[in-house]
Amino acid sequence: MSDCIFCRIVAGQIPATKVFEDEDVVAFRDIHPQAALHVLIIPKKHIATLFDVVPEEDQAVLGKMLALAPRIASENGSADGFRTIINTGRLGGQEVYHLHIHVVGGQAMPAMLKY
């Protein structure tokens, strides 16, 4: 989707500080971090929200994203623990309509403590 900022990151049209990438997913640092560690994990294929019906052949990538979270946290300085957050839809606080997991850890900023 040409108007999706995360699709443009996947396509290399917008720079991002990537911490992981393979054929299915990209993980990169959030440009407005809410903690010492704040990385987003996204599928390369555009999936707008968890509300979307995900075909069976794409379900493995969702598991891969979640399974990648502890590795991202550990390799990026948050081996003591972390949070995974998926905002879904307008009332769920989703701002970018491309499915993404926030991996947040380390010294939390006050804004993150409300969740």
Residue 115 has pLDDT above 50, yes or no: no
Query: The domain containing residue 65 runs over which residues?
Result: 5-114
Residue 49 CB partners (closer than 8 Å, separation 6+): 88, 89, 94, 97, 99
- H-helix segments, the chain: 5-10, 56-75
Q: For residue 109, name the pLDDT band (cuts at 50, 70, 90).
A: low
Residue 112 has pLDDT above 90, yes or no: no
Residue 111 has pLDDT above 70, yes or no: no
**Residue 38 catalytic?**
no
Among residues 32, 46, 98, 100, the one annotated as catalytic is 100
CATH of the domain at 77: 3.30.428.10
Which pLDDT score, from 0 to 100, does residue 103 have? 96
pTM greater than 0.75 = yes
Query: Each residue of 69-105: pLDDT tens digit?
Result: 999 999 998 878 999 999 999 999 999 999 999 999 9
What is the tally of structural domains in the chain? 1
Per-residue pLDDT, averaged over 54-58, amounts to 83
82-85 β-sheet, strand order: 18-21, 25-29, 35-43, 101-108, 82-85
